[in-house]
Amino acid sequence: MGDTSGAGEPTLEEQIAAYQREFQDLDPQVEKIVSALSRLNRRMNVAYGRQTAELGIGNTDWEVLKALVLSGAPYCLGPGDLAKRLGLTPAAMTHRIDRMVTEGLVTRERDETNRVRVIVAITAEGREKWLAAMRLATVFEEDLLQDLSADERTALGEVLTRLLRRVEHAQPDAGGRLSDLD
């Protein structure tokens, strides 16, 4: 009946108007950028989540597979290395690896040259799942950017990396754990 677009999520414009109403010293231009970034990312995460769910793996599995593949040949790392790269504690890593071993995505075995160490390696199945997820992701990403010209893409990439540099310089390597799905 009203005009508040029901009970769901307000539109970006509605939300910015509400912010200005409740908090005067707010630059609407800044807020527009920040809110759009945030929403965009949420939508992307939802899309990625759906895609990985279709493949029968979780977002957490996907993160680990990504780290292993991007580490390069021979595609294996220790739990400690993985934990550092993913920004979580060794204990959490142990649990993830437990699950992923039973799911057949990775193997875990002791390093025979130094029996304190453990080697986590991606399996053929894990690699295939990663590839399949990447294919789905690139389709989604291409579609997302479809309306942008080559020049606009270049400009956007440049501006975003500039912002990123700024924020990474400010907080050098906080091990935060939120939506590491890049």
Partner DNA sequence: CCTTCGAACTTTAGCTTCTAAGTCTTCAGT
Partner DNA sequence: ACTGAAGACTTAGAAGCTAAAGTTCGAAGG
Which of the choices DNA, its own copies, none does residue 1 contact, using the CB cut-off of 5 to 8 A by kind? none
Please, where are the H alpha helices in 71-108? 79-86, 90-102
Nearer to DNA, 56 or 80 (CB): 80
Count of Cβ atoms closer than 10 Å to residue 18 Cβ: 12
Q: Nearer to DNA by C-beta: 16 or 85?
A: 85
Side chain identity at residue 117, one-letter code = R
Select from 167, 176, 40 the least CA-distant residue to 48: 40
Query: For residues 96 and 60, is the Cβ–Cβ distance under 8 A?
Result: yes
The phi, psi pair for 175, rounded to 5°, reads -85, 45
Name the residues that contact DNA, by CB under 7 A.
Answer: 58-60, 78-81, 88-99, 108, 114-118, 177
- Minimal distance in Å, beta carbon 6 to DNA? 13
User: Considering the complex, what minimum distance in angstroms separates the CB of residue 20 from its own copies?
Assistant: 11
Q: Which CB, 102 or 171, lies closer to its own copies?
A: 171
Nearer to DNA (CB atom), residue 170 or residue 178: 178
97 touches, from DNA, its own copies, none (C-beta below 5 to 8 Å by class): DNA
- CA atoms of 110 and 175, how far apart (whole Å): 27
